[in-house]
RNA sequence: GCCCUCGUGGUGAAAUUGGUAGACACAAAGGACUUAAAAUCCUUGCCCUUUUGGGAGUGCCAGUUCGAGUCUGGCCGAGGGCACCA
C-alpha cells in the first residue's frame, strides 16, 4: 500500500494557504466569520471544531464562485491577562502578544483558509482608538448614560465583580463576602432599542429558533398597567405596575422595594434601617434568592382601594420587590400570585379569591394562577381573565388613575470595569464637576504601559499621573475616567472592522461595510446566545442610527451554534484529577494510572476544561495524526450542532482512512487502460453524480457527518468498480471530482491528490445535476407492509409497475387468490395493495 | 416554579415533504492470513426457523392514516434557558 507523509504535505500546502485569498471578484459576496478567540495561551478542541466548520463553509462557497471574506483576529483584552501577569511578572501586553503568536501558529497548522492580512487585535490602539470614537458617537446620540447602581463589590480586590464571578456570595478569587455597593457607572442605553431588538428577531430567518427564543425571553416584554393608590391621610400616592389588573378586587396589601424613594420617610426609623440592611445583605446568588423567605416591614400606613369605597390596604416594604423593574412597587393579590400568597400567610393578610378555580369554597393551599371567570369583583364578575384585564384598564384610564403600560425585563448595559487591561473610556471630569467626552482629535486615549499591578484596586487609579489631563478646547484642568470598558464592547463591532481593518479615517470604510455586511454565516458557541449576540445587534443598530451612510440593521444573517467537544474525566484514588495521557485503559472496566498502576475512577464525558484535566491538546493530535485527520474526525459521527465525544481511536481511524484514500488515488493514477463496458461505465458515472449531489446538499445543510459517511461509501464504491470493466480515463476523471469534494474537509490531502492527478481546475466545484437517476427502487407493500423492493425505470406508471409486481415480485404470492380492494400508488416511491383475507 | 428542546442497536448516529428503519463509523464476538502478534480482510449483530422465510421493533399508552421514527393527545425520562420581573 502506498503511504503518504501527512506532515510533509501539510507543511507544503500550508505555505500556499498562507497567501490564499478566497477572492472571486465577479462572484456574489460571502462573509464567513467564526467567533474570534480569546488569546488564553493555546488553542483547544472547541476552537478546532469552530474553525474547521467555518473553513468548510468558506472553502465550499469559494469553490462555488463566491467572493469570500474569511478573517480572523483576537479578543485580546480581559482579566486573565492581569491575573497571569501577577503570577509570573509578565506585562499583560507581553503575555497577550506571546499567546497570540503561539495560537496563530497553531491555527495555521489546521490548514484554515484565513486571510491573515485582515488580522486585528482588540488591544491594539489602532483598534480601540476607533472604539473610543464610536463610544463618543453613542454618547452624542444619547446612547450612553451615567447611573448609580448596585454592584457586586469585592472588598479585598477593591473591584466590581460580574455576576458570574460571585460564587455562593463570595468573590471567586479572593473568597471575600461580596457586598452590594452603590457605584456611579457608565451604561449603554440598550433598552432604547428593546422593541426593535425584539421585533427584528422575526427577520432573522437564518438563526436557530432556540437562540431567538432565548433573546426574546431575555428582553422579556410584558403588558400591563400602572395604577396609582392614594395614601390615606396624606396627599401622596404610590404608583404600582401590574400585569394582573384584573385581580384588583383581591388586593390585600401594597409592597414597596426597600430602595423605593418612599423610604425617605423612614430614614430615621431604626428598625426600618435594620430591615433594609438585612435585605441588602442577603445574597445575590440565584440560590439565595430562590430560598429566601418573604419578609416585610409594616409601615402602619394605608392606601385607599381605588374601586372599593372605604376599603384600606396596608403598605409594606418587602424584600421580594425589585426597584429596577416597573415602579418598584406592587399591589399584592395573594390568591393569585405565589409570592403574594406566601407573604400574606406570614403576615396574616386577607386572601380573597377573585378568579374562580371551580371549587370556590375550598381554602387555597397555594396561589391559583390559572384561567377562569372573575368572582367577588363587582363589575368584572363573570368575565374571563383576558376580558377582565381590558375592561379594568379601560376603567382605570377613564378615571385617570393609571394607564396601559408595556414593560421590558431588559436592563441597560453596565460597561464600567475597574480594571487595567481594557479599553479606556474616553471621558474626562472637569474641576467644576461637568463630565465631557475627550476631543476626537485626541484619540486614542492610550493605556499606559508603566503600571503597577501589585497594588489592589484599579492600577489606572493609582498611576501617578496618567489621569491628569486638560480639556483640549478650553485648556481647563481635568481628570480622566479610570474605568475601562467591558470587553464585550470590543467584540460588539469587530465584525465591521474586518471589512476594512487598516482603514485610518474612521472605524470603517462605509463602502466596504455596505458591500460585505451583514455577515452571511456566523459560527460560534451557544454560550454567546444572549450577551455577545445581543450587544452586537445593539451596536449595529446604534451605528445605523448615527451614520446614515450605513444601511445595515442586523449584523448576522445566518447563525450557527456548534456543540461542545467532550471527554471523560479521570480521578485517582486520592481524588486528584488526571490528564488522559496519565491513564491507561486495560479494557472497558479497568482503567489504571500509568505511574503506579493504581485504579482510576472514570467520570462521564463532559465539556473539556482545564480544571477537570479532561483536555486533549490539538497540537499533539495534529503532530500524531495530521491536521486533515483531526479535521475529519471532528466533523464525523455527530452533527455539528450537537456535543461530540473526543476519541483517540476515532482520530486514528480517520488517519487510516485518509491513507486509504491516498492509496486509491495512487492505484488509479497507475492504472492503464483495460477493457471497458458501456453499461457498467454508465452505472458508475451515475453513482458518482449521485454522490456529488448528496455531498453538495449535506454541506449546504450543515450535515457534515453525513458528508463524511458519503465519502466512506464512495471509497467502497470505487473499490467495487476497480474490479469492473471501467476505463482508467473515466476512473481518473471521477477521482478528480471526488477529490474536489474533499477540499473543504481535508484541504491538504485533497490538493495533493489533485496535483497527483494533474488536475488543471482545482478551484472549481463539480457540477451538481438534479434528476440524474434513471432507475429507482420502489417498495411493494401489502396492507402497508413492505414485502419487496423492485428496481424500476424512473416515472414508470402504475400500470407498468402493476405488471412487474404480478409477474415476478416476491409480493406476488400475497396477492394471488386474494381480492385487491384498493391500490395506493405514489410515483417513484411505493405501491401498496390492500387485500382482504 | 415558568419556558424550550430532545428520547432510534453495546456506542456516535442516518432516514427530502408521512412511504425500504438502523446508511456510515466506533466497540464487541467469530473467522481468514501469520510460527506468533500487530496490521489487513471477511462474517455476525432482537425472537422463531436447518435454509428459503416469518415476527416483533424508533421511551411508554392511545389516536389519525392504506402506511407513523416523522403528525395529534396524554404519561415517563434526559438536557438547556430564565427565575422573587409583579
Confirm if A522 and A560 have CB atoms less than 8 A apart.
yes
Distance in angstroms (rounded) separating the CA atoms of residues A179 and A185: 16
Distance in angstroms (rounded) separating the CA atoms of residues A582 and A462: 46
Is pLDDT at A449 greater than 50 in this prediction?
yes
pLDDT at A328: 93
Distance in angstroms (rounded) separating the CA atoms of residues A455 and A462: 8
Query: Nearest nucleotide, C1' to the C-alpha of A711?
Result: B24
Instruction: Name the residue with the least CA to C1' distance from nucleotide B3.
Output: A217
Distance in angstroms (rounded) separating the CA atoms of residues A460 and A466: 7
Q: Is the CB of A650 under 7 A from strand B?
A: yes
pLDDT at A286: 43
Confirm if A157 and A171 have CB atoms less than 8 A apart.
yes
Query: Nearest nucleotide, C1' to the C-alpha of A408?
Result: B85
Query: Nearest nucleotide, C1' to the C-alpha of A829?
Result: B19
DSSP H helical ranges for A586-647: 618-625, 627-635
Q: In the structure, how far is the CA atom of residue A68 from the C1' atom of nucleotide B24, in angstroms?
A: 31
Distance in angstroms (rounded) separating the CA atoms of residues A495 and A449: 27
- The single-letter DSSP state of residue A36 is P
State the pLDDT confidence band at A291, using cuts at 50, 70 and 90: low
State the pLDDT confidence band at A441, using cuts at 50, 70 and 90: very high
Q: Which residues of A731-752 are buried (b: 16+ CB within 10 A; e: fewer)?
A: bbebbbbbbbbbbbbbbbbbbb
Q: In the structure, how far is the CA atom of residue A62 from the C1' atom of nucleotide B40, in angstroms?
A: 39
Query: Nearest nucleotide, C1' to the C-alpha of A328?
Result: B86
Q: Of chain A residues 87-106, which have a beta carbon within 7 Å of strand B?
A: none
Q: In the structure, how far is the CA atom of residue A642 from the C1' atom of nucleotide B5, in angstroms?
A: 12
Q: Is the CB of A787 under 7 A from strand B?
A: yes
Chain B positions with a protein C-beta closer than 7 Å: 1, 3-5, 12-15, 17, 19-21, 23-27, 39-41, 53-55, 66-68, 81-86
Angle, CA A284 vertex, CA A282 and CA A288 arms, to 5°: 65
Element containing residue A606 per DSSP (H, E): strand A606-607
- Report the DSSP beta bridge partners of residue A653: none
Question: Would you list the DSSP string of A219-254?
Answer: H-EEEEEEEEEEBTTSS-EEEEEES-GGGGGG--EE
Packing angle, helices A728-742 and A678-700, rounded to 10? 0
User: Tens digits of per-residue pLDDT, A225-256?
Assistant: 999 999 998 889 999 999 999 999 999 999 99
Distance in angstroms (rounded) separating the CA atoms of residues A58 and A679: 38
Confirm if A404 and A469 have CB atoms less than 8 A apart.
no
The half-sphere exposure of A40 on its side-chain side, counting CA atoms within 13 A, is: 10
Q: Of chain A residues 741-770, which have a beta carbon within 7 Å of strand B?
A: none
Confirm if A335 and A352 have CB atoms less than 8 A apart.
yes
Chain centroid to Cα A794, Å, comes to 45
- The single-letter DSSP state of residue A363 is P
Q: Of chain A residues 213-252, which have a beta carbon within 7 Å of strand B?
A: 213-214, 217-218, 220, 222, 224, 241-244
Is pLDDT at A96 greater than 80 in this prediction?
yes
Is pLDDT at A25 greater than 90 in this prediction?
yes
Q: Is the CB of A781 under 7 A from strand B?
A: yes
Confirm if A199 and A208 have CB atoms less than 8 A apart.
no
**Integer CA distances (angstroms), A352 to A148, A249, A308, A327, A572, in order:** 39, 8, 14, 24, 60
What is the value of pTM for the model shown? 0.93
Is the model more confident about A74 or about A648? A74
- The single-letter DSSP state of residue A206 is B
Q: In the structure, how far is the CA atom of residue A530 from the C1' atom of nucleotide B21, in angstroms?
A: 38
Element containing residue A645 per DSSP (H, E): strand A644-645
Residues in chain A: 837
Q: In the structure, how far is the CA atom of residue A671 from the C1' atom of nucleotide B34, in angstroms?
A: 30
Q: Is the CB of A703 under 7 A from strand B?
A: yes
Q: Is the CB of A649 under 7 A from strand B?
A: yes
The beta strands (E) that lie in A329-458 are given as 329-332, 402-408, 413-414, 416-417, 427-430, 435-437
Please state, rounded to an integer, the average pLDDT across all residues of chain A.
89
Is pLDDT at A600 greater than 80 in this prediction?
yes
Is pLDDT at A284 greater than 60 in this prediction?
no
Is pLDDT at A288 greater than 60 in this prediction?
no
pLDDT at A287: 46
Mean pLDDT of A193-216: 94
Report the complex ipTM. 0.93
Distance in angstroms (rounded) separating the CA atoms of residues A780 and A811: 7
Amino acid at each position: 500500500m502506498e503511504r503518504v507523509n501527512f506532515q510533509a504535505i501539510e507543511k507544503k500546502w500550508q505555505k500556499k494557504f498562507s497567501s490564499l485569498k478566497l477572492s472571486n471578484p465577479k462572484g456574489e459576496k460571502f462573509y464567513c466569520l467564526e467567533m474570534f478567540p480569546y488569546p488564553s495561551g493555546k488553542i483547544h478542541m472547541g476552537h478546532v471544531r469552530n474553525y474547521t466548520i467555518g473553513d468548510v463553509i468558506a472553502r465550499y462557497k469559494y469553490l462555488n464562485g463566491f467572493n469570500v471574506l474569511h478573517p480572523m483576529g483576537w479578543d485580546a483584552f480581559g482579566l486573565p491577562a492581569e491575573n497571569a501577569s501577577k503570577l509570573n511578572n509578565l506585562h499583560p501586553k507581553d503575555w497577550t502578544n506571546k499567546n497570540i503568536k503561539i495560537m496563530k501558529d497553531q491555527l495555521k497548522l489546521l490548514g484554515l483558509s484565513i486571510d491573515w492580512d485582515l488580522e486585528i487585535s482588540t488591544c491594539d490602539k489602532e483598534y480601540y482608538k476607533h472604539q473610543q470614537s464610536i463610544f463618543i458617537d453613542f454618547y452624542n446620540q444619547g446612547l450612553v448614560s451615567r447611573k448609580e447602581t448596585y454592584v457586586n463589590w469585592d472588598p479585598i480586590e477593591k473591584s466590581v465583580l460580574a455576576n458570574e464571578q460571585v460564587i455562593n456570595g463570595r468573590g471567586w478569587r479572593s473568597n471575600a463576602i461580596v457586598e452590594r455597593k452603590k457605584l456611579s457607572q457608565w451604561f449603554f442605553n440598550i433598552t432604547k432599542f428593546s422593541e426593535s431588538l425584539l421585533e427584528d428577531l422575526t427577520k432573522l430567518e437564518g438563526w436557530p429558533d432556540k437562540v431567538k427564543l432565548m433573546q426574546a425571553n431575555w428582553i422579556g416584554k410584558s403588558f400591563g398597567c400602572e395604577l396609582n393608590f392614594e395614601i390615606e391621610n396624606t396627599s401622596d400616592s404610590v404608583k404600582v405596575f401590574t400585569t394582573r389588573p384584573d385581580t384588583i378586587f383581591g388586593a390585600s396589601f401594597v409592597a414597596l422595594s426597600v430602595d423605593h424613594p418612599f423610604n425617605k420617610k423612614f430614614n430615621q426609623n431604626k428598625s426600618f434601617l435594620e430591615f433594609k440592611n438585612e435585605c441588602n445583605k442577603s445574597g445575590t446568588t440565584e440560590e439565595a434568592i430562590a430560598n429566601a423567605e418573604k419578609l416585610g416591614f409594616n409601615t402602619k400606613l394605608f392606601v385607599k382601594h381605588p374601586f372599593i369605597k372605604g376599603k384600606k390596604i396596608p403598605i409594606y416594604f418587602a424584600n421580594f420587590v425589585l426597584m429596577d423593574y416597573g415602579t418598584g412597587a406592587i399591589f399584592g393579590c395573594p390568591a393569585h400570585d405565589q409570592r403574594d400568597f406566601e407573604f400574606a400567610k406570614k403576615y396574616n393578610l386577607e386572601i380573597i379569591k377573585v378568579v374562580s378555580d371551580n371549587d370556590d369554597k375550598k381554602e387555597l393551599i397555594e396561589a391559583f394562577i390559572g384561567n377562569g371567570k372573575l368572582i367577588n369583583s363587582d363589575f368584572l364578575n363573570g368575565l374571563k381573565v383576558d376580558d377582565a384585564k381590558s375592561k379594568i384598564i379601560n376603567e382605570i384610564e377613564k378615571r385617570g388613575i393609571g394607564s396601559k403600560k408595556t414593560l421590558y425585563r431588559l436592563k441597560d448595559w453596565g460597561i464600567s470595569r475597574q480594571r487595567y487591561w481594557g479599553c479606556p473610556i474616553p471621558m474626562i471630569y472637569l474641576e467644576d464637576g461637568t463630565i465631557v467626552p475627550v476631543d476626537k482629535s485626541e484619540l486614542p486615549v492610550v493605556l499606559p504601559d508603566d503600571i503597577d499591578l501589585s497594588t489592589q484596586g484599579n492600577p489606572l487609579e493609582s498611576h501617578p499621573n496618567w489621569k491628569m489631563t486638560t480639556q483640549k478646547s478650553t485648556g481647563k484642568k481635568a481628570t480622566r475616567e479610570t474605568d475601562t470598558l467591558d470587553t464585550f464592547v470590543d467584540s460588539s463591532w469587530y465584525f465591521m472592522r474586518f471589512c476594512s481593518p487598516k482603514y485610518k479615517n474612521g472605524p470603517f470604510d462605509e463602502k466596504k461595510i455596505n458591500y460585505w455586511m451583514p455577515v452571511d454565516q456566523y459560527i460560534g458557541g451557544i454560550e454567546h446566545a444572549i450577551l455577545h449576540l445581543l450587544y452586537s445587534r445593539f451596536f449595529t443598530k446604534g451605528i445605523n442610527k448615527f451614520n446614515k451612510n450605513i444601511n445595515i440593521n442586523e449584523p448576522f444573517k445566518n447563525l450557527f451554534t456548534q456543540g461542545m467537544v467532550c471527554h471523560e474525566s479521570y480521578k485517582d484514588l486520592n481524588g486528584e484529577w488526571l490528564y488522559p495521557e496519565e491513564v491507561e485503559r486495560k479494557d472497558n472496566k479497568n482503567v489504571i494510572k500509568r505511574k503506579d498502576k493504581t485504579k482510576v475512577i472514570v467520570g462521564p464525558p463532559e465539556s473539556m476544561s482545564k480544571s477537570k484535566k479532561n483536555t486533549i491538546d490539538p497540537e499533539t493530535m495534529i503532530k500524531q495524526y495530521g491536521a486533515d485527520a483531526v479535521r475529519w474526525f471532528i466533523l464525523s459521527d455527530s452533527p455539528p450542532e450537537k456535543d461530540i465525544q473526543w476519541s483517540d481511536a476515532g482520530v486514528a481511524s480517520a488517519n487510516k482512512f485518509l491513507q486509504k484514500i491516498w492509496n486509491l488515488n495512487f492505484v488509479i493514477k497507475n492504472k492503464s487502460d483495460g477493457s471497458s463496458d458501456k453499461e457498467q461505465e454508465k452505472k458508475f458515472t451515475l453513482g458518482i453524480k449521485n454522490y456529488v449531489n448528496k455531498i453538495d446538499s449535506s454541506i449546504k445543510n450543515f450535515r457534515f457527518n453525513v458528508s463524511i459517511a458519503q465519502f466512506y461509501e464512495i471509497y467502497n464504491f470505487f473499490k467495487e468498480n476497480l474490479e469492473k470493466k471501467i476505463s482508467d480515463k473515466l476512473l481518473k476523471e471521477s477521482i478528480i471530482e471526488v477529490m474536489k469534494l474533499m477540499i473543504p474537509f481535508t484541504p491538504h490531502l485533497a490538493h495533493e491528490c489533485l496535483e497527483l492527478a494533474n488536475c488543471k481546475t482545482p478551484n472549481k466545484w463539480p457540477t451538481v445535476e438534479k434528476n440524474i437517476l434513471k432507475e429507482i427502487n420502489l417498495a411493494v407493500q401489502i396492507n402497508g407492509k413492505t414485502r419487496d423492493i423492485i428496481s424500476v425505470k424512473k416515472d414508470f406508471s402504475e400500470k407498468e409497475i402493476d405488471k412487474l409486481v404480478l409477474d415476478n415480485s416476491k409480493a406476488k404470492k400475497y396477492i394471488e387468490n386474494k381480492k385487491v380492494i384498493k391500490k395506493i400508488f405514489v410515483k417513484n416511491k411505493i405501491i401498496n395493495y390492500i387485500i382482504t383475507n
